[in-house]
Amino acid sequence: MKTILYIIQKEFKQIFRNKGMLPIIFILPLLQLVILSNAATFEVKNIKFGYIDNDHTSTSRSLIEQFYASTYFNVSTDFPSKVLASEAMLNGEVDVILEIPQYFERDLQKEKYNNLGVTINAIDGAAAGVENVYVTQIVQRFNQHLKVDLLQVSDQQIQPISIETIPLFWYNETLNYKTFMVPGILVLLVTMITLFLSGMNIVREKEIGTLEQINVTPIKKSQFIIGKLFPFWVIGMGLLTVGLILAKVIFNVPMIGSLPLMYLYTSIYILVILGIGLFISNFTDTQQQAMFIAWFFTVIFILMSGLFTPIESMPKWAQIVTEFNPIKYFVEVMRMVMLKGSGFMDILPQLLKTILYAIIMNGLAVWSYKKTN
């Protein structure tokens, strides 16, 4: 244990003596949050749509058929109650819920007016706004094509019935896009910095020749690896803390869920990233090589994580590939816990996959590391 502590102490001294690392650790996180939080959005497709039909008339069925015919909505199922529909939205099974009130057709015939309830998952405020527009357009188009016997006849003129939609945005009531982006930027911050620092630091030992000196000492492989990577694990957890503070102070991002749960998941996720960094460093000889390879994989992982582009809008093959993307799970967990208030059981599938990823990557990294006594 003393050997590991001495190595950890040495690593912290090396990190803070390296003037090139200090800006990456302390300046880059702030720039990422401030600049990247205003990333652009894309067209929203494959919206998961559900409905509650409390009327069960030809008019309500005709309205629902309009959503079936739309190319933007994937109508999943009808819900017998609002409670079941709310649970489905909490679990991410549906993005938009249309509630048709009881006596919908009768009130249209008598009162010539009625309301529709529309509940939208607004964690992604920009997407929710687009979804609201899509719903409104479909309802307006349906309103124009109502049957003649549902129209009011007054002074020999036909007046159309008016239907008003009342949207209810969940998880992001103001549709603030930064509320959606900042948790994802925190993922980007923790991932990139811990990966680059861990990979470059070990390769730097190769370049200056100290790694060979350590390899011929009685220090065990496990002691060396733990001592080498632990400081960057601490830095990663520190980056999360700084990021959460900035997210609250600068962007006022809500933090509904449990902070200990976020730290628990992040502590395991960082092990995955450190394992990848060590694995890359084992097959590179210079910091430039390590940086290039790390950047190559990081860009792919980030773009296919759902951080900027909804995974549902990707081609089917890309959606399958994202199942092997650890950043995807971190993005999902951060948004679920911070914005939805999800608990341990809600993030358990992502947690188990991340633990498996950590075991595999660190196993490969340790196996590929060559130490000679």
Which token pair is 163?
Answer: 């239907």
Q: What is the mean pLDDT of residues 8-33?
A: 73
The predicted structure's pLDDT at residue 162: 63
Nearest to 174 by CA among 130, 123, 132: 123
pLDDT tens digits, one per residue of 133-185:
889 888 888 877 765 445 544 444 555 566 677 778 888 777 777 788 888 88
The predicted structure's pLDDT at residue 153: 45
- C-alpha–C-alpha distance, residues 192 and 125, integer Å: 26
Nearest to 289 by CA among 199, 183, 168: 199
In percent, the amount of the chain with pLDDT more than 90 equals 17
The predicted structure's pLDDT at residue 269: 95
Residue by residue, what is the 3-state secondary structure of 21-34? Answer: HHHHHHCHHHHHHH
Q: What is the mean pLDDT of residues 8-35?
A: 73
Q: Which helix (H) or strand (E) holds 176?
A: none
Q: Above 80 in pLDDT, residue 5?
A: yes
**Which DSSP symbol is given to 43?**
-
3-state DSSP assignment of residue 286: coil
Q: Above 90 in pLDDT, residue 271?
A: yes
Instruction: Bin 360: left if φ > 0, else alpha if -120 < ψ < 50, else beta.
Output: alpha
- C-alpha–C-alpha distance, residues 356 and 127, integer Å: 32
Q: Above 70 in pLDDT, residue 246?
A: yes
> Residue 362, CB half-sphere, CA atoms under 13 Å: how many?
19
Weakest mean pLDDT among 101-115, 188-202, 209-223, 286-300: 209-223
CATH of 47-170, one of 3.40.1710.10, 3.40.120.10, 3.10.310.30, 2.60.120.10: 3.40.1710.10
- C-alpha–C-alpha distance, residues 186 and 33, integer Å: 7
The predicted structure's pLDDT at residue 372: 53
Q: What is the mean pLDDT of residues 109-122?
A: 82
Name 202's Cβ contacts closer than 8 Å, sequence gap at least 6: 211, 228, 277, 278, 281
Burial of 277 (0-12, 13-18, 19+ CB in 10 A): buried
The predicted structure's pLDDT at residue 156: 47
pLDDT tens digits, one per residue of 319-354:
888 999 999 999 999 999 998 888 999 999 999 999
- C-alpha–C-alpha distance, residues 309 and 238, integer Å: 28
3-state DSSP assignment of residue 184: helix
The predicted structure's pLDDT at residue 344: 92
Hey, where are the domains in the chain? 2-36+176-368, 47-170
pLDDT tens digits, one per residue of 62-87:
889 999 988 889 898 789 888 899 88
Order of strands across the sheet with 162-170? 73-78, 47-53, 96-100, 113-121, 162-170
Q: What is the mean pLDDT of residues 358-367?
A: 88
The residue among 4 and 358 whose pLDDT is bigger is: 358
Is residue 368 a contact partner of residue 283, using CB atoms and an 8 Å limit? yes
pTM: 0.73
The predicted structure's pLDDT at residue 214: 67
Weakest mean pLDDT among 198-207, 254-263, 285-294, 314-323: 198-207
Which token pair is 218?
Answer: 């009685």
pLDDT band of 311, cuts 50, 70, 90: confident
End-to-end CA distance of the chain, in Å? 19
